[in-house]
Amino acid sequence: MTAGRTQVDKLFLSVEIGGTNLRYGVVDQDLKVLEFGKEPSSLLSEAEDKGAYLEELTRPYLEKYGKEAFCCMTLSLASLMNRERTINFNSPNIKGLNNISLVDILSERLSLPVFMERDVNTALLYEIWKGNIDSRGIVAGIFIGTGLGNAMCIDGKVYIGHSGSACELGHIPVLGFEGACGCGKNGCIELKASGRTLALLAQEKYGCPVGEIFLRHGQEEDVLAVVRACAVAAATEITILDPGCVVLGGGVVEMENFPMEYFQRTVRENLRIPYPRESVRFIMAHSDPEAGIVGAAINARNRMNQEEY
Ligand SMILES: [Zn+2]
């Protein structure tokens, strides 16, 4: 019997580090959520010792089930990370996480294997599982939130690229555009196509809560221009990949009165005839509160199967 066989009944200690909320819990091998908790992410952001904070947060679960009941800890967060998924280079939402190995810190503290993955990738894994989406071929995920998030799964496996930095759709360059992006370069499409752009419009021009911008100003040209920019980014990806389907999610898509029909029509107008214009299929993400921790568990399960723990 291999070591891997002994892991199959064990639990996942799962943590999603979001921009607003830190969600954590216990997920079993059938992806059933046994425990679920939530704290503001600002607490982690302010914590001097990130490892100590996360250990303290999950300690009640380790005590309740016993450490030997867990096969690993698994993390989901927004960050550029290395191919091995051990170091986060650029984690914009949480202070003090850049260029450290949360994986090493936590595995030392907990004496458990620790896995880490980008939040968009765990989100797509969750949606494929939850929506029972056929994962043969390519499934793309486009998550329009504060930024323009993107992920792809090829034959059920998240594609991370040669250096681990694949699918940064928000940072494709726009010809003739020179705006400075938070990523350190100029002209990224995310500056025109994201919730951040809508938030600026809401605040500086319309003086309304960003969540109501489509409701109150959805017909304004500059609001529609943001939707069009998102659609052009999506069409760029679909043109290259010809995915079987595209999962759409994120806070912007979920806003009241988001012009979904206009968005999809604009994507199609920018696709070749007849395919993929006619063939591309959009699926709405469930975006359940537990998506991050269950997606992180799926990722850990995939990684453990590959690496034969
Ligand atoms: Zn950028």
Q: Encode pLDDT of 85-113 as tens digits.
A: 999 998 878 899 999 999 999 999 999 99
H helix and E strand count, the chain? 10, 12
Is 233 a member of any domain? yes
What 3-state class would DSSP assign to 68?
A: helix
Protein residues with C-beta less than 5 angstroms from the ion ligand 1: 171, 181, 183, 188
186 lies in the same domain as 258:
yes
How many whole angstroms from 173 Cα to the centroid of ligand 1?
8
In a domain, 124, yes or no: no
Other beta carbons less than 10 A from residue 223's beta carbon: 21
User: How far does the centroid of ligand 1 lie from the alpha carbon of residue 223, in Å?
Assistant: 21
Torsions phi, psi of 124, nearest 5?
Answer: -70, -40
pLDDT over 70 (residue 267)? yes
Residue 238 confidence (pLDDT): 98
User: What is the 87 CA–ligand 1 centroid distance (Å)?
Assistant: 20
Q: What is the pLDDT of residue 306?
A: 85
What total of structural domains would you count in the chain? 2
Residues 156 and 43 in one domain: no
Q: What pLDDT digit, counting tens, does each position of 202-222 carry?
A: 999 999 999 999 999 999 999
| CATH code, domain carrying 194 | 3.30.420.40
CA-wise closest residue to 233 among 171, 277, 153: 171
Rounded to the nearest angstrom, the distance between the alpha carbon of 186 and the centre of ligand 1 is 7
**Whether 256 contacts 214, CB under 8 Å:** yes
- Average the pLDDT over 248-256 and give the result: 97
Residue 2 has pLDDT above 50, yes or no: no
Tell me how far the alpha carbon of residue 45 lies from the centroid of ligand 1, in angstroms.
23
Q: Which domain holds residue 105?
A: 3-118+289-307
- Asked if 150 and 202 sit in the same domain, the reply is yes
Can you tell me the distance from the alpha carbon of 9 to that of 11, in angstroms, rounded to the nearest whole number?
A: 7
pLDDT for 90: 84
| Distance from the alpha carbon of residue 289 to the mean position of ligand 1, in angstroms | 28
Q: Is residue 159 domain-shared with residue 219, that is, in the same domain?
A: yes
Whether 123 is covered by a domain: the verdict is: no
Question: Is 192 found in the same domain as 261?
Answer: yes
Residues 245 and 144 in one domain: yes
One domain for residues 179 and 80: no
* Pair 182, 254 in one domain: yes
Selection from 9, 10, 3, 106 nearest residue 67 by Cα:
10
Confirm whether 227 is domain-assigned: yes
pLDDT given for residue 215 in this prediction: 98
Do 93 and 176 lie in a common domain? no
Cα of 189 from ligand 1 centre, angstroms: 7
Is 132 a residue whose pLDDT tops 50? yes
Distance of alpha carbon 134 from its chain centroid, rounded?
Answer: 20
Range in 77-81, 150-154, 226-230, 253-257 the model is least confident about:
77-81
Give the distance (Å) from ligand 1 centre to CA of residue 172. 7
